[in-house]
Amino acid sequence: MSVQTTDTDILILGSGGAGLLAALHAYKSNPELEITIAVKGLMGKCGCTRMVQGGYNVALSSSDSVERHFMDTIAGGKWLPNQKLAWKLCETAVERVRELENEIGCFFDREPDGTLHHKAFAGQTADRTVHKGDLTGIEIINRLMEQVLARPIRKLEEHRALALIPSADGVGISGVLLVDMRSGAMKLVRAKAVLLATGAGPTMYKYYTPSGEKSMDGLSMALRAGLPLRDMEMVQFHPTGLLAGKDTRMTGTVLEEGLRGAGGELHNGAGERFMFKYDDRGERATRDIVSRGIYAEMRAGNTTPNGGVHISMSHLGPDNVREKFKGMVKRCADCGFDLAAGKVEVVPTAHYLMGGVVCNTDTETSLKGLFVAGEDAGGIHGANRLGGNGVANSTVFGGVAGEAMAGYAATAELLEPNSVVLEREIERALMPFNLEGENVNVHALREELMDIMWEHVGVMRDRIGLTRGLERVENLKSRLLAGNIGVENRVFNLTWHDWLNLYNLIEISLVITRAALARENSRGAHFREDFPEPGSLDESYFTQVELQETGLEVEQIPVEFNIIKPGESLIEDYTETAPKVQRRPDTVGA
């Protein structure tokens, strides 16, 4: 198999908030460097930064501070975050929002007096979420995209990354094997520095919110390249994903959290308002508690026709709902649902992966020349991510990575690729054409994976289920490898890419399941019915999974409390477990 080889100084994988900020910062640091962005879809048009509704957490209001933002991040992450990463996130967010507004052109919403508007968000002790209506991500990504398009940055659109290729001598990264999806041709792009910013995305669950093309490509490549992944058991579920049957891509897409904040009610199949059985706050309890409440009703069979529960807003007055949630009501209406006056079926839906590649505060990984940012990076959020910290994370560390890569690439050399790995990875990517056996139905297997992960590795977990899940995913992998896809033409072949997506999702599903088995307590997004207690905070550890010759190895590594220890606080009067802040009930955000 021939591979076309090209060289660049910096190669960025992904064009979400992390990838685009990295390109701009690298270019500003050193315009002499050749910068290339490779992306699975169109520039700035795939990935999840664009889908951010709520907003961007930043300590800019007079009642807030970086210390307070940090405390909320650590408490929200149940003491598992890497504290240096969390501090850098909160500190740098201040500069990054000013950069987005003053240099990139994002036009965030204002107070009547013209200062930035900060909205209240669940789980936070100050109003700190900067936004543009409820379409914050579109504003951020469109403005970033315009800036990137106007600079001499090389674009490889619809180029899917297949593998990280180490150097022949093993000292660092040589480049990335890609496939040009439009032609089907394989390409090796050698680079001095590579950024992994493909945005994870837990789309291996029956219900999921992320952009449909996402499939853990970055983490799967990192795993195969021998990099350690941390916190992989931490999958955040959003309680209200749209439920419209398995044959529509609408299913799983998120209905915003503000609906519950404004007084939306959840009813089970018998029409009972059930959330008060599980928490005194009812529907306004945190995401994880509401997700578990809904899941418990579903497991008990108290379900609506498609197997979920109903969200009902009409008691608030349909016109009022239409006005307050204009975008959400329109989206539902376009798809045939009446959110304002009727009931809409919902279900907990996989939203975000807190876990990712281990890195330091300069986004460096253990493979020299490889950097990581955004949802592919681990350790920033610990066991749970605060709403509004996702886009802060990608844009903060994307920019950090851009500068770090420009510094690194200024003195680094291009390295010769390890040809054994290269050949092996090409062969792997072409398996769906070359495997012997009957045609496999990729979609049927994907649905099976989504059922297994939902059932055994989802909202509530226990040893028996996780063990069963592991066996079933391993069995699924062997069936995927038992035949080819039955389509020869490689040009814009979605079924080939569905196969590659499924392969990556299977690999990372195994990692998630192993990490979930290893954590025998319940923290944040990870809930073990057989170990419902959080365990000692002082002895907090994070899980780390690596692929070794013998298979996946899981370690438990103590959290370093290098800024604060459990029980301590950087600010006065801070109650870590239940932020005691009075706010109007209608301001709990998405």
Which amino acids are annotated catalytic?
238, 260
Of the candidate spans 103-111, 266-274, 550-558, 575-583, the one that interacts with another protein by CB under 8 A turns out to be 103-111
Residue 428's Cβ-count burial label (10 Å; 0-12, 13-18, 19+) is: middle
Q: What is the dihedral of CA 208, 525, 161, 405, to 10 degrees?
A: 140
Q: Is 492 in the site for another protein (CB under 8 A)?
A: yes
Q: Is 109 in the site for another protein (CB under 8 A)?
A: yes
The minimum distance between CB 157 and another protein, in angstroms, equals 8
Q: Is 419 in the site for another protein (CB under 8 A)?
A: no
Of the candidate spans 189-197, 210-218, 226-234, 531-539, the one that interacts with another protein by CB under 8 A turns out to be 210-218
Q: Is 549 in the site for another protein (CB under 8 A)?
A: no
* Residue 246 identity: K
Residue 32's Cβ-count burial label (10 Å; 0-12, 13-18, 19+) is: exposed
Beta strand 4-13 pairing with 35-38:
parallel
Q: Is 249 in the site for another protein (CB under 8 A)?
A: yes
The minimum distance between CB 199 and another protein, in angstroms, equals 11
Of the candidate spans 139-147, 346-354, 406-414, 476-484, the one that interacts with another protein by CB under 8 A turns out to be 139-147
Residues listed for the chain: 590
Dihedral sign (CA 89, 91, 95, 101) = positive
Q: Is 147 in the site for another protein (CB under 8 A)?
A: yes
Residue 487's Cβ-count burial label (10 Å; 0-12, 13-18, 19+) is: middle
Which of 17, 47, 166, 398 is in the footprint of another protein by CB under 8 A?
47
Q: Is 46 in the site for another protein (CB under 8 A)?
A: yes
Taking a C-beta distance cutoff of 8 angstroms, is the pair 59, 94 a contact? yes
Which of 250, 341, 460, 481 is in the footprint of another protein by CB under 8 A?
250
Q: Is 103 in the site for another protein (CB under 8 A)?
A: yes
Q: CA distances (Å), 446 to each of 246, 251, 353, 441, in order? A: 12, 15, 19, 9
Taking a C-beta distance cutoff of 8 angstroms, is the pair 369, 194 a contact? yes
The secondary structure of residue 584, as a DSSP letter, is: -
The minimum distance between CB 478 and another protein, in angstroms, equals 22
Q: How many CB atoms lie within 10 A of CB 140?
A: 28
| Closer Cβ to another protein, 253 or 543, answer by number | 253
| Closer Cβ to another protein, 96 or 528, answer by number | 96
The minimum distance between CB 89 and another protein, in angstroms, equals 16
Of the candidate spans 171-179, 186-194, 247-255, 379-387, the one that interacts with another protein by CB under 8 A turns out to be 247-255
* 376 vs 126: CA distance, rounded Å: 28
The continuous run of DSSP H or E covering 545 comes out as strand 541-548
Q: Is 114 in the site for another protein (CB under 8 A)?
A: yes
Q: Is 115 in the site for another protein (CB under 8 A)?
A: yes
Q: Is 102 in the site for another protein (CB under 8 A)?
A: yes
Q: 314-317: long-range contacts (C-beta < 8 A, 24 or more apart)?
A: 314/340, 314/341, 314/342, 314/343, 315/263, 315/265, 316/262, 316/263, 316/264
| Closer Cβ to another protein, 107 or 276, answer by number | 107
Q: Is 112 in the site for another protein (CB under 8 A)?
A: yes
**Positions that interact with another protein (CB under 8 A):** 41-43, 45-47, 50-51, 60, 95-99, 101-105, 107-116, 132-133, 135, 137-139, 142-143, 146-147, 149-150, 182, 211-213, 244-245, 247-251, 253, 331, 334-336, 443, 485-487, 489, 491-495
